[in-house]
Amino acid sequence: MAGNPTLFQAFEWNVPADEHHWQRLRNILPQLKAIGIDNLWLPPACKGNNFKGNGYDIYDLYDLGEFHQKGSRNTKWGSKEDLIALAAEARALAIGLYFDAVLNHRCGGDATQRVKVVQVDDRGTELGPLAQYEAYDSRKLIYNGAKRNITKPYDIEAWLAFFFPGRQGKYSAFRYNWSHFNASDYDNATGKKAIFKIVADGKDWQKDVDKASHGNYDYLLLNNLDYSNGNLREEVKRWGQWVVQELGLSGFRLDAVKHFSQGFVNEWVNAVNAGSQKDLFYVGEHWTDNTKSLVRCPPTCWGKLPDLVLARRLYAYGTQTDYFESKNCIGWVRSGASEGSKQSGLAIVMSWQQKHPPSGKGVAAMDRIRQAFQKSNQAEPPSRDMKTSNATISQQPKPPSPRIRMRVGHEHAGQTWRDLLGWEWADVIIDSEGFGVFPCQPNSLAVFTATDAEGREKFPVNFSHNIYEKA
């Protein structure tokens, strides 16, 4: 595996439903490779009940945009042919693909079946089952009372027969029926929306799912798969092996992993690994309510995310030494390794002073200031606190920038280190003991390496952030 491997999420919830996303990703692969992206997390590529949706309402595992089902041949992301072309280009560039596998449920059955159920309590939620699916990104709306039955057993008509008429048995002849599920969310006979636990043949919730603080988490939404069924387990394992070979995958992201059998997850991973010629990567989505807080940061780092990814790939090697003594300004040093750009090392400083970070316009203004400074050959660089007009730059009184004294190593003595991002304009001279005083503009970030470090000519990174321009 390449040094400092980096995974890139290659979609988001509101990507246009224009069936061109696979083409856009293929077009941008060389740029992603150039900045150090090694793997792409692909969206769910299987046909969903709504072909304009993101695929989490999964209908057919084997339909990757190949069969005319649910109103369309293609998925929201494009055709299977486009996906295969993307996979081939990624393979040529040594970029791995991680598949978002939705194994918890199914949606959009082809026919109804009568099945005996009990309705369970869903009063622990703000939304009902189908409404919760529409607010899918709010996973806190979990069915707290899903273990308490509130009716006696009775029959409903649920959409639990799946025979995939558009595919006609290609790749797999397996058909789903009520025995492959343990819950549904809709009674077609009455039009009622609720959580219906199937009790025919003694069915119950799976026991080896996350329990957390809300009881049994087996049910999430739609038609809940029952992995106590041996035939279902074998079919889903076969699909895992098939899709790895079909697309040359390097790994999987398992959706909603806390909501289905952990025993089956282990069984499935072992089976897929056994059918693959390479080591695969796995990560499971597991939302929990015991994390105290999440730190939010600008998703593109004011346009510098490609520079940060490339800097990590080139220079973030060797022992790390942290300088975390101050709560308002922290830093760390990577000492470097023994080959090529890896030996250069890296020093990072971050500051935070309870003010808002610069906007895109602010960064553009700072770029104009820097250009003016470079043209004027001033002895000292201007600060971010300078104000600009059409023709003048005036110095404003300001406190000194945050700074940290850090040791990068005696082997770097006498070198000049400079910020790769271009936000901190003061150079740092490394002293005879290997120390430097590294500054950072308030509420910002600076990434320093030697001015003669291998690969510095690649900065700033020229990266097209708008992939829709080439659709």
Query: Pick from 65, 94, 84: which is nearest to 250 by CA?
Result: 94
Upper half-sphere CA count for residue 371 (Cβ side, 13 Å): 8
The residues, any chain, with a CB within 8 Å of residue 14's CB and separated by 6 or more, are none
Q: Which two tokens stand for residue 189?
A: 């006979």
Q: Is 224 helix (H, G, I), strand (E, B) or coil?
A: strand
Within 237-306, strands assigned E span 251-254, 281-284
> How would you classify the pairing of strands 154-161 and 111-119?
antiparallel
Q: Give backbone dihedrals phi and psi of 355, rounded to 5 degrees, phi first.
A: -125, 165
Cis preceding linkage at 460, omega within 30 = yes
Strands 7-9 and 329-334: unpaired
CB contact set of 166 (below 8 Å; sequence gap of 6+): 63, 67, 68, 69
What is the DSSP code string of 292-326? -------TTGGGTHHHHHHHHHHH--S-EEEE---
- Candidates 255, 307, 419, 424; catalytic one: 255
Contact assessment for residue 257 and residue 286, using Cβ atoms and an 8 Å cutoff? yes
**Residue 255 among the catalytic residues:** yes
285 noted as active-site residue: yes
Please tell me what DSSP assigns to residue 69: B
Spatial CA neighbour of 119 closest among 256, 219, 232: 219
Cβ neighbours of residue 400 closer than 8 Å, sequence gap 6 or more? none
N-to-C CA span, the chain: 31
18, 285, 427, 431: the active-site residue: 285
- In sequence order, what are the beta bridge partners of 78? 75
Q: Report the b/e string of 198-222 with b at 16+ CB within 10 A.
A: bbeeebebbeebbeeebbbbbbbbb
| Catalytic residue annotation | 255, 285
